[in-house]
């Protein structure tokens, strides 16, 4: 079953838990499920401090839960080096891993979480790539489009019945200090900026991104703006002064992102064990998709 952008968009009208800004991406020309998707992203003008998570979500044929991958700014380290955090998670129960960057559970629930911290140049655009390795096993990569350097975030294997990637999905901006039962203090969200570029996949034309939107308890209070740029959208959010520093150069002066996930790769893939090859004919029903989109997103970010 292939999910149309209109179908997913209807369910995304309701807020996703804890996020502040939502987007929707879709591959209009794809004729089948996908075995690789690249999400180009720039956080060149995001303050280098903890708090925000910029992520793209993805779903699979045949199973209920999906996953996400994204970037989180960090404070500079004690040497003054810039630190960039990347995450790659599955929220499907039965997901397994043997990778050193990964651990069982995702945000306290079923699944697997993988993460790395790198010394990265914020001004550069990064590709976040999820790539199928066969037999329900997926690799997450972080690739600097300027240097070509590639970092393996992690590898995990989905349970029997899982197919390839759906051709559409949502993304989000989250200010995760608000992940608590208390109402958020809308005056405390620091000003930040992120550019989501159109996702890419081999053998099909680039995806489209619908206009981003803000929502939630602080709707209309965070100076939200979404500016159309070449092949994507730049999102501005937040009103509070930042305690971190920002990159001196502008996102618009950065080089246009390359979408190749194979340029000068320097990955070191950890060994993993393929599970048994049982298969099922499980498909996502409309009700299952509703449950997935409304209740499948966890509360905290790893």
Which tens digits make up the pLDDT trace of 137-186? 999 999 999 999 999 999 999 999 999 999 999 999 999 999 888 899 99
Write down the pLDDT at residue 192. Answer: 97
Q: 3-state class of 292 per DSSP?
A: helix
Burial class of residue 291 (count of CB atoms within 10 Å of its CB; 0-12, 13-18, 19+): middle
* Residue 98 pLDDT exceeds 90: yes
CA dihedral 188, 44, 36, 1 (to 10 degrees): 40
Write down the pLDDT at residue 296. Answer: 43
* Residue 262 pLDDT exceeds 70: no
By the 8 A CB rule, do 33 and 166 touch? yes
CA dihedral 23, 187, 193, 120 (to 10 degrees): -110
Mean pLDDT across the chain: 82
Cα(139)–Cα(143) distance, integer angstroms: 13
Q: What is the mean pLDDT of residues 242-269?
A: 43
* Token digits of residue 61: 């044929």
User: Residue 26's pLDDT band (boundaries 50, 70, 90)?
Assistant: very high
* Residue 274 pLDDT exceeds 70: no
Q: What is the mean pLDDT of residues 61-83?
A: 95
pTM: 0.78
Q: What is the mean pLDDT of residues 16-38?
A: 91
CA dihedral 159, 163, 169, 174 (to 10 degrees): 20
How many helices (DSSP H) and strands (DSSP E) are in the chain? 2, 16
Cα(235)–Cα(209) distance, integer angstroms: 12
Q: 224 CB contacts (<8 Å, ≥6 apart)?
A: 21, 214, 235, 236, 237
Q: 34 CB contacts (<8 Å, ≥6 apart)?
A: 27, 164, 165, 166, 167, 201, 204
E strands, 120-167, in order: 126-134, 137-144, 150-157
Q: 260 CB contacts (<8 Å, ≥6 apart)?
A: none
User: Nearest Cα to 16, choosing from 298, 242, 243?
Assistant: 298
Q: 3-state class of 287 per DSSP?
A: helix
Cα(72)–Cα(91) distance, integer angstroms: 19
User: Nearest Cα to 278, choosing from 176, 105, 161?
Assistant: 161
């Amino acid at each position: 079953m292939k999910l149309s952008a209109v179908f997913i968009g209807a369910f995304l009208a309701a807020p996703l838990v804890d996020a502040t800004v939502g987007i929707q991406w879709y591959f209009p020309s794809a004729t089948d499920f996908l075995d690789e998707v690249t999400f180009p992203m720039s956080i060149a003008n995001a303050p280098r401090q903890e708090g925000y998570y910029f992520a793209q979500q993805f779903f699979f044929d045949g199973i209920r839960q999906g996953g996400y991958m994204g970037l989180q700014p960090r404070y500079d380290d004690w040497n003054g080096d810039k630190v960039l955090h990347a995450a790659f998670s599955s929220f499907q129960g039965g997901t397994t891993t043997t990778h050193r960057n990964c651990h069982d559970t995702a945000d306290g629930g079923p699944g697997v979480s993988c993460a790395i911290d790198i010394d990265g140049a914020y001004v550069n655009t990064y590709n976040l790539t999820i790539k199928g390795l066969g037999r329900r096993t997926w690799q997450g990569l972080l690739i600097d489009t300027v240097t070509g350097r590639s970092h393996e975030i992690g590898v995990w294997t989905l349970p029997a019945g899982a197919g390839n990637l759906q051709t559409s999905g949502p993304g989000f901006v989250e200010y995760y200090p608000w992940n608590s039962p208390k109402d958020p203090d809308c005056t405390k969200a620091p000003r930040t900026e992120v550019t989501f570029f159109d996702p890419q996949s081999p053998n099909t034309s680039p995806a489209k991104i619908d206009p981003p939107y803000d929502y939630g308890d602080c709707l209309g209070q965070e100076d939200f703006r979404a500016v159309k740029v070449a092949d994507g959208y730049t999102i501005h959010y937040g009103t509070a002064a930042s305690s971190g520093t920002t990159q001196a150069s502008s996102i618009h002066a950065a080089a246009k992102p390359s979408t190749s996930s194979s340029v000068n790769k320097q990955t070191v893939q950890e060994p993993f064990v393929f599970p048994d090859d049982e298969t099922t004919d499980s498909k996502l029903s409309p009700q299952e998709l509703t449950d997935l989109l409304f209740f499948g997103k966890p509360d905290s970010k790893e």
